[in-house]
Amino acid sequence: MASGTYCLDGCMYDFATGKAVCSNVGSPIVITGGTAPAFTLTGPTVGTFSPGTSVTIAWMASNVDVNGRTKIALGYDPDTTPFDANQHWIEIDGVTAANGAGPNIWNTTG
């Protein structure tokens, strides 16, 4: 969890009656010393590839939440503006993120 100030809230919901009872602890709590996760693509290096070529995409991850809920997603974009509406996501079956280096082989056939 990242360092910060957080409010703690909770609700108990009765599905039979459709009513909820909610509460909070009244004052915020402070988490200190947390380090934000980091993710960096490290490969391939700049190059030219032909359709149908297998391209190794590599990354480095650190400070990953080790509970298994963090997944890696990879994408390519036909223009040079990252994270715009032209992004195409490469299906990698929801690879679970882990601290350290990781690769994925992308087959550029289709």
pLDDT tens column, 80-96: 777 777 777 776 666 78
Query: Domain tally for the chain?
Result: 2
Same structural domain for residues 48 and 73?
yes
Q: Residue 84 is which amino acid?
A: D
3-state secondary structure (DSSP) of residue 10: strand
Indicate whether this model's pTM tops 0.75: no
Same structural domain for residues 62 and 91?
yes
- Name the residue among 59, 45, 67, 49 with its Cα closest to residue 92: 59
* The pLDDT value given to residue 17: 92
Q: Residue 100 is which amino acid?
A: G
Q: Which residues of the chain have pLDDT under 70?
A: 1, 34, 66, 68, 91-94, 110
Same structural domain for residues 24 and 64?
no
Domain range for residue 25?
Answer: 1-34
Same structural domain for residues 27 and 51?
no
Same structural domain for residues 55 and 88?
yes
Same structural domain for residues 72 and 52?
yes
